[in-house]
Chain A
């Protein structure tokens, strides 16, 4: 136990000793903190001083870990998963204490799963007996359960409005339509793949510049529209003729700072309510005063001009639109070690940005102000109201395309225009719309499993022509049952089928991967780097017909086999849909029949065609439930999911299965969940300054 101690080791020690009730806040902790600050301040590296502490500080949990887990790790895992080799990026050799295991909970959950499933140790190694497996799994679970017993809502960093949220907020606040997604530089995603994840919502000089120009252009639009403006400024102010003469004599305008002067009262009446809405909270007296003073300055400098009052208000509104108080959703950080409920207004914002991608409306504010939003009855009532509001469609628009990975279809998808001249931008728009409308519909119908399997979709005339369905007239999307072809559910949607194709042809591999990852949450590891990537891209492929033979060849025993035998059959099951989602009976102008059969899963179930494929997928509804839970939770919290979310995920997933995939119940459960309503303090670290 001789090695250099770094400050993170000390951090671990402190956490560790704090976890042990018997030494909480003891001299030992204080002593360690002191040592830590010494390391920070002086860069001291203390060698082996505390070695004996580490050894002697062995707890019952550690003994349990050593006896029931570590022995098996040493015997069965370490030969590959060690510091030198770290096979698959996993090194299990460094875990000597129970608290280390708890800190890498996600990793050890995977270990548990691999040992339970018997995927590890691999077949070519010494087998573990069932008793050994059970002991090891139980031992790890004891540590993980203990770690999860303490509720933790996870980190919550303030979120900048995503571009979509910015657009909708401006719409709801000022009534202006503003295409924020086109106006601001495009952004990447984080977490489980969404654009509302706090850590990737950067603020950069270019973006700030754009925010300023956007505020400018938005305010100009509002000013130009009398209806909008009078909505914001119900009572404008124009000095009377006498007043003007008087002002002209005095050489200055009405002093809006004088508390009871008419423009001052009017300005206060106009600015403050809008400021509350813009900042999504009440203002401090200083904040109010600062806004009114700014108004007064602008007004007094321009008092001779016509519309000086309104123009000055517009400048103040603009100033609010570029403030961090508007652009970021902030939550108070309380100095406490225990997680706490966010306040009512903050919860209102969490709700509205989750369900509406926008600010709360008057009714939600009213509820937040007069009642306790944390009360599950109130919360249920409000959530239900919001879900039945037309604005809920924004949830479908934002969440669904990102979850299904079809959000880039309109702007970025590249189908070969020579081969598919029919794939116009208007068609792409309609295809994207279909996904959103369909989700919205089945959500309200109450059965999310219809996403996987159904015999209908919502289409308009353009899509009907694309899908070769007769008798659909008009641009409005409506429910249409497919009687002639086995289409239906998201696996029959052109958006999904095109997004999983290459520019010139279909790709069974991509489609299979898509189903496994986006619907069932099964991660397919990438092909090893620095070897040829997509197997199917190898030569000899003139068109789709050749693919089957080629892929079958590559599924013969090899390093590719493991994954391709999972992915490819699913993709072949969908081969009757071409690269832009049209039905086809065969390849090469229908001259060569399509073989859409395959064998699915560990149970080797045979299927033929999309219909049977879908019903087989339905049997995996637990996986579907877990995946959808993860996606929605990550979207709701604006962060990637962590080990500490395990219980929340499991509870919500079980709820979903129990309620027979009823979307509304699930969302209400989600907004009632612990992390959605709680916050943990991100305390100002006294050592922070020394670190940097």
Chain B
């Protein structure tokens, strides 16, 4: 049943039977930043795919700018000149004798070994690269960083391997021991940033005492600290840190006004459409259509970049060992994790390939959206770095070598895109993170096992 034909909401909202237009279907000539000649802000997003991809089906043929996409990567052909396919990279510190998945997920962006524990010493070895960026450039936006996903984090602990499943559901780490929780509901994610800017929706009433409450609960922690032990104090420290981050946002009215100013009529139109799409999705497609949910989350990230609500975002297509059922794809009859253990059976491999390709289609969707929004002389994609990757290559062997990695966007015209670069086997993935930090002019002398930025990628 097509949702459009029956959308009660649409009728109620007086939009009649208009067909739901895809996100930003038309280009608006004026962009938020179109008139400002100053340095364009750089954005970073990471889309994480669980369960890997089969290298022979993934790797493009040819290197340099003269290369052919593989079948899996073929959806990217429209933005071929704006992506970099990087082969041969590995995350050395993800090798573990205990486990094949958790240790290759939690540290995807930290590149450090994670601590084997069910709770006491949860530690990803380092702060993840997105959070390092957020700490440096996050202050310039209302939301230092966003963490999105589509599945609830898997609960329980894997007592047999000795890991909490938390590790399988987190790639962003604010500190080595503090995982960032993910938003998985489009409505929450959207409202958090845009609730008061949706045309036709009454803004929430002002809260004149929020600031006083913040001060009071901060004072609570001061009083309590003296009565508590060390570990309790650390917990209170987390609390205080959380309060401060909220405080920062509301204490600087200038930030809020700047943000409101960036909600141009163009953005506002998109907000209205998004608002409607989220309602429709919740009414008709929730729990049914995963592609739609992914696209909503992606569109929210794009809106965040466009309105400069945030410049750093991570997104997980699933928890590690995801057994998502992909039988909605033609030719797939099994779950993701099952087909990733294909044993080179052609029937399994073809399903594995179709599922990987679906992920790339969603990634491509994000790149094309970004590329449709003018930003300065170019597009939002030109000023962004959108990383796609997995912590495994061949899921059948849990292989940490030759990871599937694509970097989309030019990061502010810093990257020589349109290439397939084949690195020597076992080149640290951390080097790419150093390159991105470098492109953002952030200190990157050391990052995990990285041996320095990949200068050949930079303009």
> Which residues of A come within 8 Å of B, CB atoms?
89, 155, 157-158, 160, 185-193, 195, 197-200, 202-209, 212, 216, 286-287, 290, 294, 297-298, 315, 318-319, 322-325, 327-328, 330, 332-333, 402, 405, 407-408, 411-412, 414-419, 425, 502-504, 513, 517, 523-526, 528-534, 537-540, 639-640, 681-685, 688
Contacts and interface: CB of A to CB of B under 8 A. Distances in A.
A192 B325 contact: no
Contact of B152 (A186, A502, A531, A540): A186
B399 interface: yes
Interface string B169-186: 110001000111111100
A517 B100 CA distance: 19
Given A193-B156, A330-B232, A408-B154, 12 more contacts: A187-B155, A188-B153, A200-B122, A208-B246, A209-B246, A212-B213, A333-B229, A502-B323, A504-B333, A532-B341, A540-B345, A683-B229
9 contacts: A188-B170, A207-B181, A330-B232, A333-B232, A525-B161, A533-B341, A538-B341, A639-B119, A682-B231
B377 interface: no
B70 to A, nearest CB: 22
B325 A503 contact: yes
Contact of A682 (B97, B159, B209, B229): B229
Contacts of A216: 207
Contacts of B100: 526, 529-530, 533
B115 interface: no
Interface in B382-398: 396-398
B246 A324 contact: no
A332 B181 contact: no
B11 interface: no
Contacts of A412: 151-152, 154
Contact of A204 (B174, B221, B324): B174
A529 B160 contact: no
A157 B238 CA distance: 13
Contact of A318 (B160, B213, B221, B238): B213
Contact of A187 (B98, B181, B219, B228): B181
B164 interface: yes
Of the listed residues B156, B178, B223, the one surrounded by the most CB atoms of chain A closer than 10 A to its CB is B156
A681 B96 CA distance: 36
B62 to A, nearest CB: 29
A185 B233 CA distance: 23
A158 B232 contact: yes
Interface string B134-177: 00000000000001000111111101110011100110001000
B202 interface: no
B165 A324 contact: no
B7 interface: no
B99 A186 contact: no
B153 A328 contact: no
Contact of B119 (A191, A209, A318): A191
Contacts of B230: 682-685, 688
A585 B201 CA distance: 57
A191 B164 CA distance: 8
Contact of A199 (B96, B122, B182, B342): B122
B423 interface: no
A410 to B, nearest CB: 10
B345 A538 contact: yes
Nearest to B163: A526
A675 to B, nearest CB: 16
Which 8 residue pairs spanning A and B have beta carbons closest together? A190-B119, A682-B229, A539-B345, A188-B166, A208-B242, A185-B181, A186-B152, A537-B341
B242 A207 contact: yes
Interface residues on chain B, size class: 35 or more
Nearest to A418: B327
Contacts of A408: 152, 154-155
Contacts of A402: 155-156
Contacts of B147: 206
Contacts of A189: 119, 155-157, 164-166
Of the listed residues A318, A322, A402, the one surrounded by the most CB atoms of chain B closer than 10 A to its CB is A322
A315 B211 CA distance: 12
Contact of B287 (A89, A425, A688): A425
Contacts of B229: 157, 333, 681-684
B347 A640 contact: no
Contacts of A538: 341, 343, 345
A371 B409 CA distance: 69
A328 B235 contact: yes
B397 A532 contact: yes
Contacts of B245: 205, 208
Contacts of A208: 239, 242-243, 245-246
Given A208-B246, A407-B155, A503 B323 contact: yes
B183 A640 contact: no
B79 interface: no
Contacts of A322: 213, 217
B338 interface: yes
B444 interface: no
A218 to B, nearest CB: 14
Contacts of A212: 210, 213, 246
Contacts of A89: 97-98
A442 B108 CA distance: 45
Contact of B164 (A188, A415, A639): A188
A157 B119 contact: no
A212 B246 CA distance: 10
A324 B221 contact: yes
Of the listed residues B179, B325, B342, the one surrounded by the most CB atoms of chain A closer than 10 A to its CB is B325
A414 B267 CA distance: 36
B235 A157 contact: yes
A530 B399 contact: yes
Of the listed residues B97, B119, B231, B236, the one surrounded by the most CB atoms of chain A closer than 10 A to its CB is B119
B3 interface: no
A205 B153 CA distance: 18
Given A517-B159, A517-B160, A539-B347, A323 B217 contact: yes
Contacts of B212: 294, 297, 319
Contact of A157 (B156, B223, B231, B246): B231
A84 to B, nearest CB: 14
B192 to A, nearest CB: 7
B216 interface: yes
